[in-house]
């Protein structure tokens, strides 16, 4: 949960919001995936509220596919402008990083805006209740260039209980039965830019592999809620959480205020 003593922090937050989201075509034919709504708010808003709840209010957002729609949302007079829509101020810097640029290329294009400082990085399509202050503390404790958040994906399939060839019962897949995966929610040092060649570089491939081989990539294990929004099923699941009033990623609000 958000620590009450946390105040505005100068660490900037980079968010990649330029992909096409082809597996969510029902929504992304008309808008970029970060503007797909959960509870009447873009998932991008939910992500930004998470960071802002820990005092990280300075955002640098990489635009690409239908980026003009995101620009409209944060323009003066737009839905949010430079605030969360409820009066809390944000600093939002929107950077056109090209429609066809890969994830690594988008990160490198943000370098002039991020400066020579530690920064957060995440994608514009996933939510979590990760403690960002502890994540930053972990990153600073090990002194390496990069930290990723390791998560265990939610179970996607039930299990069969078999006795020989006979099905005894059906069972829900037990929680955390999968191995650890990259859940994004990175913290990076500016030295990572040297690991990215250009626009065609995919961050999850060569740069991360080279960082790992050099001993410069560490994992912060997050044992609680995490959910990406890759498909319409994922979007509906997040909406179901919202409709139920049990919104695990809404760390910036108490339960009684969770619908605001």
SS3 132: helix
The two tokens of residue 81 are: 């402008």
Contacts of residue 168, defined as CB under 8 A and 6 or more positions apart, other chains included, come to 161, 162
Q: Are 234 and 227 in contact (CB under 8 A)?
A: yes
More confident residue, 39 or 162: 39
Per-residue model confidence as pLDDT tens digits over 89-112: 999 999 999 999 999 999 999 999
Cα-based distances in Å from 80 to 72, 85, 109, 114, 237: 9, 5, 24, 22, 25
Tell me the mean pLDDT in the region 161-185.
65
Helix residue ranges, H only, the chain: 25-28, 43-53, 67-74, 103-109, 111-114, 132-142, 206-213, 232-244
Among the residue ranges 64-68, 70-74, 101-105, 158-162, the one predicted with the least confidence is 158-162
Which residue do the tokens 């039965």 mark?
A: 177
List domains and CATH numbers for the chain: 12-257 (3.90.550.10)
pTM exceeds 0.85 for this model: yes
Using 50, 70 and 90 to split pLDDT, how confident is the model at 222? very high
| Phi and psi torsions of 196, nearest 5° | -110, 120
Average pLDDT of the chain, as a whole number? 86
Q: What is the dihedral of CA 220, 221, 223, 225, to 10 degrees?
A: 50
Closest CA to 122 of 12, 28, 215, 36: 12
The CA–CA distances, whole Å, from 245 to 157, 224, 229, 241 equal 24, 18, 19, 7
Segment 109-121 shows an average pLDDT of 97
Residue 185 has pLDDT above 80, yes or no: yes
Q: What is the pLDDT of residues 123-149, one digit of tens each?
A: 999 999 999 999 999 999 999 999 999
Instruction: Supply 14's token pair.
Output: 């980079």
């Amino acid at each position: 949960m958000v620590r009450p003593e946390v105040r505005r922090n100068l660490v900037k937050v980079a968010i990649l919001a330029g992909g096409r989201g082809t597996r969510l075509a029902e929504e992304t034919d008309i808008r970029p995936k970060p503007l797909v709504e959960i509870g009447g708010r873009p998932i991008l808003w939910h992500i930004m509220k998470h960071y802002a709840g820990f005092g990280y209010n300075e955002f640098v957002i990489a635009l690409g596919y239908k980026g003009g729609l995101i620009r409209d949302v944060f323009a003066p007079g737009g839905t949010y402008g430079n605030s969360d829509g409820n009066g809390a101020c944000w600093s939002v810097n929107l950077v056109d990083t090209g429609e066809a640029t890969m994830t690594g290329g988008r990160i490198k294009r943000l370098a002039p805006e991020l400066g020579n400082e530690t920064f957060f990085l995440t994608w514009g399509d996933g939510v979590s209740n990760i403690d960002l202050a502890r994540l930053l503390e972990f990153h600073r404790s090990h002194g390496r260039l990069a930290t990723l958040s390791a998560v265990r994906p939610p179970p996607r399939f039930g299990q069969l209980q078999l006795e020989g060839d006979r099905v005894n019962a059906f069972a829900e897949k037990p929680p955390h039965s999968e191995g650890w995966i990259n859940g994004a929610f990175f913290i990076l040092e500016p030295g990572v830019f040297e690991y990215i060649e250009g626009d065609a570089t995919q961050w999850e491939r060569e740069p991360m592999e080279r960082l790992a081989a050099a001993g410069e990539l560490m994992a912060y294990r997050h044992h609680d809620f995490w959910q990406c929004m890759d498909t319409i099923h994922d979007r509906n699941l997040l909406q179901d959480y919202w409709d139920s009033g049990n919104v695990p990623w809404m760390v910036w609000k108490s339960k009684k205020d969770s619908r605001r």
